[in-house]
Amino acid sequence: MAAKFGTMRQNSRRSSQPSRKRGTQKLLGLGLMLFYAAPLAGCQNLNSSLIKDWGFSQGEGIPEAQAAATKESPETIAQEIQRLTQEIAQLTASHKDWGRAHYERAHYHRINDDFDAAITDYNIAATAYGDRDAQLYSDRGLAHESLGNGEAAIADYTKAIAVNEGWADEPETLAVTYASRGEVHESLKNLDAALADYNTAIALDASLSYAFYDRAYLHHSQENLIQAIKDFTSYIQLTAKPGSWAYYSRGVANEDYGRSAQALADYSEAISLNDWGQDDPELNKQDQADAYFARAWLHHHLGNYRRAIQGYSESLKLHPMDSLTLYNRGLVHDENGDLAQALADYSSAIELNQNWGQIDISGNYLGLGSALYNRGLIYQLQGNGELAQGDFRASKAAEKALEQSHS
């Protein structure tokens, strides 16, 4: 039994591009304040106070206990903001170093996701310390980036780079800023500038794992598949716990390059890890379901019908309200000659009628109309002409409505 459209993937949710999860790209700068080894001229109070407050000396990295500051409870963050607000009032009244307190409070506003308040404090701190503190501009750039102010973020990252480039002993910190600016360039579709920044970041610090991931994603979007696979592999090798997304993304690149065995291995590793980095368990389940779907789709494409059915079934256990997965499992049964099971899956997909594909990568329409048409073909083979004609008419109407919605 030849189904009308063959096996299709939903382009919007299960695309041929590697998927990126929010919050996994910027492994440094998620509220951490990285301070340079030497105090800047005129800024001794800022750096020495923060070094004292955070408990590490010049030339040392941030201790694990301090790196965990971004995980402080909302109550602790609120208390720190209140303390610093009182301190700012006292310092301002006595004409002392209020810039440092604004800088610290900006940090807590930023990790509390109050980016507007953070930027206000960074602006005040900048008036106190002028153009000499690269980290201030880098942190403010991250706040602008979080608000979607791309051009402002690029301007701040560029300022941070200009201040920092005179320090030959800080290549790792400079690399982070280049990578951050690259991400913003990429979000604004400045792809050549993004690639240049990722290349510079990696040249400065070949251990900066997330820069490899970001560059891999960019290469994949430009169909530079070999380079994308290499960069995803570098990210995996450099990261202690790369998580499911790294393997899933490399799997997509391998599949697009025609390396089916490697793609299946990557999808299997992603599924085995089941570590999608989501705070919401339901989102984790959805990601895991999509990984099962991706592996099942590839098995289906390769003619491994039994494994394809198993994979689609595993996906449905995690996300049963998915017409596309039911439809694709129906296609496998259909192509394998099991018309009874195909009819059941098509009917379930039609009755559920949600989470369909949109326009597939070949420009075909995939959704309710496809399921109705294929079910109509089975009814026709079974001699149920009236049911078949009803499905054919409904299929045309559904496809016309879908086409109009995308015109």
Band of residue 145 on the pLDDT scale cut at 50, 70, 90 = very high
342-395 pLDDT tens trace: 999 999 999 998 777 554 544 455 688 889 999 999 999 999 999 999 999 999
> In this structure, is residue 67 part of a structural domain?
yes
- DSSP string for residues in 223-250: T-HHHHHHHHHHHHHH-SS-HHHHHHHH
Tally of domains in the chain: 1
> In this structure, is residue 244 part of a structural domain?
no
Is pLDDT of 16 > 50?
no
Domain interval for residue 187 = 19-205
Q: Which residue has the higher pLDDT, 41 or 385?
A: 385
> In this structure, is residue 393 part of a structural domain?
no
> In this structure, is residue 224 part of a structural domain?
no
Query: 345: which residues sit within 8 A by CB, 6+ positions away?
Result: 326, 327, 329, 330, 333
For the residues 9-16, what does the mean pLDDT come to?
A: 28
> In this structure, is residue 309 part of a structural domain?
no
> In this structure, is residue 213 part of a structural domain?
no
For the residues 56-67, what does the mean pLDDT come to?
A: 28
CA distance 191 to 227: 15
Residue 59, CA distances (Å) to 35, 67, 69, 165, 359 in order = 9, 16, 20, 18, 54
> In this structure, is residue 380 part of a structural domain?
no
Residue 229, CA distances (Å) to 170, 176, 195, 269, 324 in order = 29, 22, 16, 15, 28
Give the 3-state secondary structure of residue 349. helix
182-200 pLDDT tens trace: 999 999 999 999 999 999 9
The CATH number assigned to the domain holding 109 equals 1.25.40.10
For the residues 262-266, what does the mean pLDDT come to?
A: 98
> In this structure, is residue 141 part of a structural domain?
yes
Q: Average per-residue pLDDT in the chain?
A: 79
First-to-last C-alpha distance (Å) of the chain: 32
Query: 265: which residues sit within 8 A by CB, 6+ positions away?
Result: 251
pLDDT at 20: 30
